[in-house]
Amino acid sequence: MKRLQHIFISNSQGDTFEAIELVGTGLALYYEHNPFWKRDEYYLIHIASGSRLLGEFVSSFVSACLWIRRIKDLTDWTQPADRLKPRYDVALLVQAARLDLPAHRWQKFEGCFSGKKGAKGEAR
């Protein structure tokens, strides 16, 4: 894995928050402790936009590192968010990576946007 470093990111509301960047990927981890549910929450952040990739989280630093490791090569995360938003396939693959689905099962998700149909007409 590449080097990690602490950075400060500005979001669209002008707030600044601390995160851990995976240097050179355009991605970072944001940690938050949820006192209501008494749990730790780690989110993936797109550095260029300061936004979370998903609203969902994982509960450990190790899980967050594995999640970011699985998606870091899906696209060029250093590009602006407006270029990534039309990529619904990437969003779905980020979700699949969070769920830790084996790579061979990702093909089902990829088929949802390729127009391919299964034998019964459902997306593969």
What does residue 97 show for φ and ψ, rounded to 5 degrees?
-65, -35
The gap from C-alpha 111 to its chain's centroid, in whole angstroms, comes to: 20
User: What value does the mean pLDDT of the chain take?
Assistant: 80
* In-domain check, residue 96: yes
The verdict on pTM exceeding 0.85 is: no
CB of 98 closer than 8 Å to CB of 55: no
pLDDT band per the 50, 70, 90 thresholds, residue 43: very high
* In-domain check, residue 118: no
Quote the tokens at residue 71: 């998606």
3-state secondary structure 63-122: HHHHHHHHHCCCCCCCCCHHHHCCCHHHHHHHHHHHCCCCHHHHHHHHHCCCCCECCCCC
CB of 29 closer than 8 Å to CB of 42: yes
Q: Is the pLDDT of residue 110 over 60?
A: no
Q: Is the pLDDT of residue 42 over 90?
A: yes
Structural domains counted in the chain: 1
What is the extent of the structural domain holding 87? 4-111
* In-domain check, residue 117: no
Looking at this protein, which amino acid is placed at residue 113?
F
Residue range 16-27, pLDDT digits in tens: 999 999 999 999
* In-domain check, residue 123: no
* In-domain check, residue 97: yes
Rounded CA separation 90/23 (Å): 20
* In-domain check, residue 122: no
CB of 75 closer than 8 Å to CB of 87: yes
Looking at this protein, which amino acid is placed at residue 77?
W
pLDDT at residue 120 in the model: 42
* In-domain check, residue 37: yes
* In-domain check, residue 121: no
